Amino acid sequence: MLNIVFIGTAGCGKTSLTYVFGKWLEHELGTDVSYVNLDPGVHRIPYNPSYDVREIITVDRLMKYGLGPNGAMIRAAEIIEENISEVSRKIYNLESDFKLIDTPGQIELFLFRPMGPRFIEEISKHAPTVSVYIIDPALASDLSGLVTSFLLPIITRFRLGIPVISVINKADLPEVRKVEEFSIDLRNLKEKLMSEERGLIVDLTSKFIELVEELSKTVRIVKTSVKTGEGMSDLYALIHEALCECGDLM
Ligand SMILES: Nc1nc2c(ncn2[C@@H]2O[C@H](COP(=O)(O)OP(=O)(O)OP(=O)(O)O)[C@@H](O)[C@H]2O)c(=O)[nH]1
Ligand SMILES: [Mg+2]
């Protein structure tokens, strides 16, 4: 039994990848998959959820009581946190080899508020848990965007305390080529930066690159696309590697 938690910035493809990777696991490996929706604000999801947090609260319902969209999302996260034992018990009770967990649209609701770390603490008591951090090429197509995109999975690892693997999604889009070029060799990226930019931003960015290099020595990043289906077996292999490294068995 394994929990796989999909995390990333708004619109990076969490919901679509949860669905497409789940179908790949079912069809290619013949495994049982449970789909879990933790997004209280979503309207339509492509998979049939085995557990849906909207049974506790929805953003729409809170907005009917007069909250604005951001206030409603924050309140929803608090309500989920108040019910975290029940939520994680229901997920724990699902009988399947893989539980794919789709998190709220806004990453800060899950990562920076107590809900995400509390949820991870609960579910990882019962089964190995790994997070898939999804990089959106649209946010990584300039140097500072790229470095920020590489730092976020490190922050995710730090905040959640579980293995985090990174994927660059939307591999079918042309923007991904630039991200790939940069990420293949961070040292080249640093030299390029030094030659093109000046001042504090160069110092900061090169320190961040060093940090990413240092913390990502053994990390492989794979490309996925929910449009073409590419990268699913690579993603599966990467999850396997991450769990082997931290000693958890699948
Ligand atoms: N071209 C392309 N588009 C993608 C891919 N993955 C997701 N998208 C598109 O990106 C948009 C957002 O996808 P979602 O799966 O809803 O992303 P999300 O991270 O769950 O979004 P929120 O939960 O709203 O933050 C949709 O229009 C998807 O069709 C991909 O691999 N390639
Ligand atoms: Mg979503």
CATH label of the domain that carries residue 30: 3.40.50.300
Number of domains present in the structure of the chain: 1
Is 173 part of any domain?
yes
pLDDT 10s digits, 94-105: 999 999 999 998
pLDDT 10s digits, 139-195: 887 777 888 888 899 899 999 999 999 999 999 999 888 787 776 666 677 777 777
CA triplet 201, 204, 207: central angle to 5 degrees? Answer: 145
Whole-angstrom Cα distance, residue 155 to residue 37? 23
3-state secondary structure (DSSP) of residue 136: coil
Whole-angstrom Cα distance, residue 156 to residue 110? 10
Is 250 part of any domain?
no
Tell me which residues have their CB closer than 6 angstroms to ligand 1.
Answer: 8, 10-16, 39, 105, 169-170, 172-173, 225-227
Quick one: which atom of ligand 1 is closest to the CA of 173? 1
Is 137 part of any domain?
yes
21 CA → ligand 1 middle, Å? 13
Domain limits at 121? 2-245
Quick one: which atom of ligand 1 is closest to the CA of 18? 15
17 CA → ligand 1 middle, Å? 8
Q: Which residue ranges in the chain fall short of pLDDT 50?
A: 249-250
Determine the residue of 15, 16, 136 to mutate for testing ligand 1's pocket, defined as the one with the most ligand atoms within 8 A of the Cβ atom. Answer: 16
In the chain, the N- to C-terminal Cα span, in Å, equals 7
Q: What is the DSSP string of 35-76?
A: EEE--TT-S--SS--SEEGGGT--HHHHHHTT--HHHHHHHH
User: What pLDDT score does 3 carry?
Assistant: 97
